Amino acid sequence: MKRIGPSLSALLIGGFLNAQDLLKPLVVEGDAVGNVAVETLDAERLNELLGYLPGFASVASDSAGYGDIIGVRGSTNTLFFGGAGVAMVVDDVPYGDVLGYSTEFFDLESFTLHRGPQGSRFARNGVGGLMELRTPGPTKEYEHGFSAEYGSYNLTHLRFRSSGPLDKDWSYAFQTYLKERDGFVDNVTLGRETDTREQLGTLGSLYYNPSEDFEMRFRFMYERTRDGSQRLSALPGTTSAFGEFVDSQLVKDPFKVASNIPGATEIDRFQLSMHLDQDFGKVNLKSITAFSNWKLGPNIVDLDLTAFDLSRSSIRHEQNLFSQEFRLQSDQDADVRWLSGLAYLNKDNQGLANRFFPIGNNISANQFTSFDIDEESVALFGNVQWDAVEDLTIEVGGRLESVENSISRSKTDPGGGFIPLPPAFAGESNGVYFSPSLGANYVVTSETSVFARTSLSYKPQGFTAYSDNPATTEFDEEQSLETEIGVRYQSSDQSMGGELRGYFKQIDDYQLNQSVPVTDFIIVNADRVEALGVEGEVFWKPISGLTVQASAGWNQIEFEEHTGAAGADLSGNDVPFLPEFTAGMVVRYDFENGFFAQTGLRAVGATFFDETNNSDYRQGSYEVLDAQLGYQGDSWNAAIFARNLLDEDYYNFMNNSISAGVAGDPEMYGVRIGLEF
């Protein structure tokens, strides 16, 4: 069993998978202080963690990650351009923009959500936090596993895993999955469901261990998405942006549309990396070299959502990411523990976006935007933990980073050019940022400790490709100052534990999306955002076989100073895409004969989807209940499951530009079997 070491921002809830559970994702919330046998949350995608992780926000636009928003404690990304508010690292390999994040989980050894800036400890930094995922390594003996899942809407989900030695020096770990289903949304014009889903993923690693103190790893990952239409439908109670006639043709049902265009989202993710790990005794040296390619081609959306060909978009977008990290780390059992690193990253975004839309008098424009946006960064980072006295640990960290950006952009209209087009545009920008952090952890008793941490961090400047005005193409860096305090308890027998945290955060020049008529989609800097929140988790094993895990988070995240697109004072408004609270509970009982019963409830508070806080684009609070009954044997397992058991209606995403939303998954049932051999 792996132990996940404590850190200053440690959380309490940990977990393991037994042998028969290796084909289901393990979710570990935070860095476990003492690993507790808590069964896995039944989550297969990032947005399914919303509600279970306090302070965590996820907006899923239903395009396999393209256009998604992920936030922690008020820090988020913008939809298509701009840096991540929450970084992602998988097996030490950093990801680029959120649009390129993997949305389906591979089988995981652990998922750790680090809250707060992590630039002093990782090659990537996120002003809100960092998601660290680790997949299982090779086993000492050959192990194989297979699972199959079938459910509503012809859901089919297959997984296979294999690992073991090749000879005395070489070993391997391999896994793959296939997941597909029929559509949820009935297209009344085309007479079928167009939002079908199909994902395929493969992850393989080859390990070379000629001695105990040296390891070389070659890692390969490929994911393929071939989805149908985005799950967009007209929002009830809103008026179409295309006029009364179009509004009268809309089907205002979350699971019905009248689109004449089937729609599609096709994405390929490809990743190669080489990892070197040399242990010199008192010092460990790591090198991680990685290349990633993410390709969207195409993403086709019917914007008017009717049987008429009034407005549509088609986007092709490709991101190439090269990274190199060198990391030195001391003996983690020493009184003074340190790490230092050098990270280089080069990110190149290229794309071609087509937008067809009416401009009046039966005339339409057919515009193509071509862009190339580059980002290059070099960072020095370091972190020191010092056991100053027996019960007090001090942590000091820092990151010095240089970021350079450039853009080239042009726009054409081969259909006639009824709207004057802007000239080709090119620009450059650069910035140098220093991000320090200071924290402390004090052990009050053998079961209780208190901690505090303050950090300053930056999200770099950049460019957006969807602005015709050069003055609104560039956006400035975002600065975040965060302070958290907390108390942690864990009983000596590990049958009960909990953590309570409070934080205050001030974000200057907050990066925010705005839509500008007719087709511009820009990123602006809101002068100031303030975030105040309380988060808590508890786990409890009152009797043998019964485990209760609960969490809750409340926050107030508002514009302290901000002027909207029309010049309106939006100070005091809630920041969009961030629920006001989240809560979750998982209860599981394991019978002595191998049977088990588990239920999970997650609640998400009211969320605005635009900066003006228009009630038409507000999702009220909702709850999602999941359940499963099953059996776990030594080498096989089986279960029946239900997701969204109460068939709750809610929206994951709302688009105020076209008055449309993406409904959450409906009620689903299924069966699952798994084999280990």
What the block records as the tokens of 318 is 């490709």
Q: Are 366 and 413 in contact (CB under 8 A)?
A: yes
290 has which bridge partners? 273, 323
* Eight-state DSSP code of residue 48: G
CA distance linking residue 147 with residue 157, whole number of Å: 8
Q: Give kind and range of the element (H or E) at residue 628.
A: strand 622-632
* Side chain identity, residue 614: N
* Eight-state DSSP code of residue 107: P
Residue 180: pLDDT band (50, 70, 90) is very high
- Mean pLDDT calculated for residue range 318-330: 97
pLDDT at 519: 67
CA distance linking residue 446 with residue 444, whole number of Å: 7
Q: Are 237 and 659 in contact (CB under 8 A)?
A: no
| pLDDT mean across residues, the chain | 90
Q: Are 366 and 415 in contact (CB under 8 A)?
A: yes
Question: Phi and psi at residue 74, in whole multiples of 5°?
Answer: 90, -15
* All residues at 6 or more sequence positions from 559 whose CB lies less than 8 Å from its CB, including other chains: 510, 526, 528, 529, 570, 571, 572, 573, 575, 611
Residue 246: pLDDT band (50, 70, 90) is confident
CA distance linking residue 512 with residue 403, whole number of Å: 20
Alpha helices in 389-459 (DSSP H): none
In angstroms, the first-to-last Cα distance of the chain is: 19
Q: Are 266 and 227 in contact (CB under 8 A)?
A: yes
Is the pLDDT confidence value at 39 over 60? no
Q: What DSSP string runs through 504-521?
A: EEEEEEEEEEEEETTTEE
Tens of pLDDT, residue by residue over 47-106, are 889 999 999 999 999 999 999 999 999 999 998 888 999 999 999 999 999 999 987 889
What the block records as the tokens of 293 is 């390619």
* All residues at 6 or more sequence positions from 15 whose CB lies less than 8 Å from its CB, including other chains: 26, 27, 28, 32, 35, 36, 37, 38, 39, 40
Helix (H, G, I), strand (E, B) or coil at 472: helix
CA distance linking residue 645 with residue 297, whole number of Å: 35
Residue 41: pLDDT band (50, 70, 90) is low
pLDDT at 40: 53
Tens of pLDDT, residue by residue over 210-235, are 999 999 999 999 999 999 999 999 99
CA distance linking residue 33 with residue 10, whole number of Å: 7
Question: Structure pTM?
Answer: 0.91
Is the pLDDT confidence value at 14 over 60? no
Q: How many CA atoms lie within 13 A of 397 on its CB side?
A: 31
What residue ranges do the domains of the chain occupy?
19-676
Assign a CATH topology to domain 19-676.
Answer: Maltoporin; Chain A (2.40.170)
